[in-house]
Structure 1
């Protein structure tokens, strides 16, 4: 049996004075409620700036997240509460105004839908052209990286939607139900970055270490070990180090890594931004080498084309991902709504960027 408990006040403000200006309601029912509405008689009509709040047991304070004030013609106050989540909530430690939260939710879900559709199109195109892109090792590894980047982000987005659905049903989200979704989100978002790292390292290997030769099988082993092994190790260590005090997931209104108690979110932020920095350094080195002596006279035309496409893909996607999570850090430091909007837009549209810069801009594809 799931119990839903809600404590709601009709609160009125007069300058800096905060007063209870209505009844306190405590409700306990034998089912999960996604939306709840109460109408309150106003005790003192002279007070203004109504606000509906509930007691947040995680923060040990009053919280208005997901609650909206409705005034009717009889002078009463109606409190309507619901809870949702967004990409902005995944990063921001602040509570966001309910109207802004709803706007971010719409941006997120529309963006995620576009992203997932783009990733599916990307995978369909890669399936169609797969036989034609295996002619040399460089082209082959480039497309292996793009496919795994697309698959990782697609699964991460699916897990995000599952986590959002759980967060809408339960406040605070259940540890048992949220933890699997958070683990796979953490794992596959990191896998996206590590496969981007493999693309950059492939570019570095083919343009800087031109005299070195590595078999396709060996490159595949290294790529999958780094692409999935490293994220798995980080995700498992994060679970193991935070499982005891149950500080693995956020205790706010989102299924995501904890920040306030255990700083588990750093297990995603630090590797992601480190990879962005490494990729930018690789791009600078490769660009310097290419400007000095070109891609290489001994390089076959198909391989030259693959190297140019890899360079363009890394050059565009790395700054986009870097800006995305840079704004993510911004949401952790600022309550500014514009930063939250930009972060949600960039984050939820990553699949579209992968389709454009990873697949559609390749003339051979």
Structure 2
């Protein structure tokens, strides 16, 4: 049923309304409705608008001429302000004053308006008899998440906290009256205020980093001491997280923050968190949650096989390059060995250390002490090994790509300047850049994102690698995986790709050996370009394609290709830069030639059987010479 229409002045702003109320000019009811209309879209309000609207509502609730319609309009305005953005409600004094006014308003308005229910705010005023043992206020969970009048219950003669086992109780508070109240033959006024969230209670001691909100309930019985107040709060459900701990707190207007003074934990269950306090004010439960991590599975056989072959191939390549360095004066031994060393370290660490040795598999155990948590997200302090592995993995892989880029630069200079050897001082520069640049990037990444009490700003918990995803599982561009690895590697891969194209085009035009025959030309073109692509690590481009692909089939193909090509990169380097070299071919040929010919004597015998007769046995021997050689 709708009330009578009200004529409003649409040209008024919140500042105009505040001025009219302060000067006691204008109709309070019209001003209250105008304020309600102007705050109906709270997400568009600025911080100044929020402050002005809070001051208007504060003045309306304190007015001596307040009516039920004015009270409802003011409470509706406050309910709408609770939907404003957190940035807009940073100003503390105006909303702090408003919460104090709401407490007094709930205590004094039992004869005017006993219950006002809005989606984000409930104000209940009631008088109880002196012989009452206590009072119970309950808000049941609704389907929409908003407060509705038929789910707000009040029991004026009970002292027991009754939890609904079905989890339907959202918030419940019970005030058990002390004996001193029974001795006085007077009725008592009690007020309750229930807030949908804690936007008006901005804490410095408690940080809400995961976007959670907390219900706040206020109980006011005036200046009465020795109270027994029990509360029940339904635990907040956070996606992919479990309740780690909670604290029963009350708002301290002197400190302008939450405090555990006078409150303690009673117990906890899936149906609710129980608290006890010895006074009345604004109460809440501050909950901290620990993420439920899905730890990485054991490496599959493709990865293990590929990495194992790469480790063997890289070890042989490093040994070969060092042993034969004097006979290959024109080959970039330092560059290739450095590439292999970095890639070998990365592969070994990946196989042996990428799995987190300290998994958080146990269920969190709620502490008995009522200690205010610093945040709604609990993160274990760093234990060391997993972070150390992540640092070494980042350094070795960045080092691999840095040396790849230096190798590409060397090839470019050799072709452009037609040099048979490296330019002067080139080796010294490459050593400084190849080992120093990755160290600088890793140091910056650690300095910006790593904290001992929050190591997950730098690395992941599921396995020992750079942090990449937010708690909801979405890729986060603010985390170091993006700016500490993907960005620098992307620039190096782009440079290496350009150098590969330059190498292929230039070599095809100028190398006379590539034009002898069509078959030889195509073979050498392919092998030269493929060898350079392998040592430059261009197969890692598939990893970037995996990040942007949306097709499931293409994702599977790219995933398998990326896994096979990257895990066997060390084996590919061994085949192309060691096994196919002329030195190895000559060594193999000499080894085969050194095998002496083998003399194999063949023995034959012939026998005949005749009944009653004997026949002479004939035997012969043949010498077979076999010559094994390889041409």
- Whether the TM-score (by the shorter chain) exceeds 0.5 is yes
- Within a 5 Å distance, the mapping from 1:296-315 to structure 2 comes to 313-315=531-533
Counterpart pick for 2:479 among 254, 263, 268: 263
Quote the offset at 1:186 in angstroms.
0.5
Counterpart pick for 1:274 among 484, 491, 502: 491
Is 1:177 paired with 2:385?
yes
Deviations 1:235-261 (A, max 9, x none): 111111101453444334110001125
Counterpart Cα distance in 2 of 1:132 and 1:349: 28
Quick check: 1:146–1:358 contact (8 Å CA) kept in 2? no
Q: Could you say what the CA RMSD is over the residues aligned between the two structures, in angstroms?
A: 3.7
Quick check: 1:325–1:343 contact (8 Å CA) kept in 2? yes
Deviations 1:158-214 (A, max 9, x none): 22234334x154238955221111111111111111111111111110111338996
Number of residue pairs the alignment of both structures matches = 261
1:112 and 1:251, CA in 2 relative to 1: closer, same or farther beyond 3 A? same
Counterpart Cα distance in 1 of 2:505 and 2:291: 55
Quote the offset at 1:334 in angstroms.
6.9
Is 1:192 paired with 2:380?
no
Counterpart Cα distance in 2 of 1:157 and 1:319: 14
Quick check: 2:458–2:467 contact (8 Å CA) kept in 1? yes
TM-score between the two structures when normalised by the length of structure 2: 0.36
Compare relative contact order (CA 8 Å, sep 6+) and give the higher one, 1 or 2: 1
Q: Which runs of 5+ in 1 are unaligned?
A: 1-52, 66-82, 86-100, 297-307
Is 1:220 paired with 2:427?
yes
For 1:106, the equivalent position in structure 2 comes to 301
TM-score between the two structures when normalised by the length of structure 1: 0.60
Counterpart pick for 1:146 among 336, 350, 371: 336
> SS at 1:240's partner residue?
helix
Counterpart Cα distance in 1 of 2:500 and 2:546: 23
1:181 and 1:211, CA in 2 relative to 1: closer, same or farther beyond 3 A? closer
Quick check: 2:493–2:538 contact (8 Å CA) kept in 1? no
Quick check: 1:317–1:357 contact (8 Å CA) kept in 2? no
Comparing both structures, which one devotes a greater share of its residues to helix?
Answer: 1
Quote the offset at 1:352 in angstroms.
1.1
Quick check: 2:534–2:573 contact (8 Å CA) kept in 1? no
Counterpart Cα distance in 1 of 2:338 and 2:399: 8
Quick check: 2:542–2:558 contact (8 Å CA) kept in 1? no
Counterpart Cα distance in 2 of 1:56 and 1:164: 28
Q: Which runs of 5+ in 2 are unaligned?
A: 1-239, 245-287, 362-379, 471-477, 514-525, 585-631
Counterpart Cα distance in 1 of 2:340 and 2:350: 15
Quick check: 2:390–2:459 contact (8 Å CA) kept in 1? no
Quote the offset at 1:234 in angstroms.
0.9
For 2:50, the equivalent position in structure 1 comes to none
Quote the offset at 1:339 in angstroms.
4.1
> SS at 1:121's partner residue?
helix
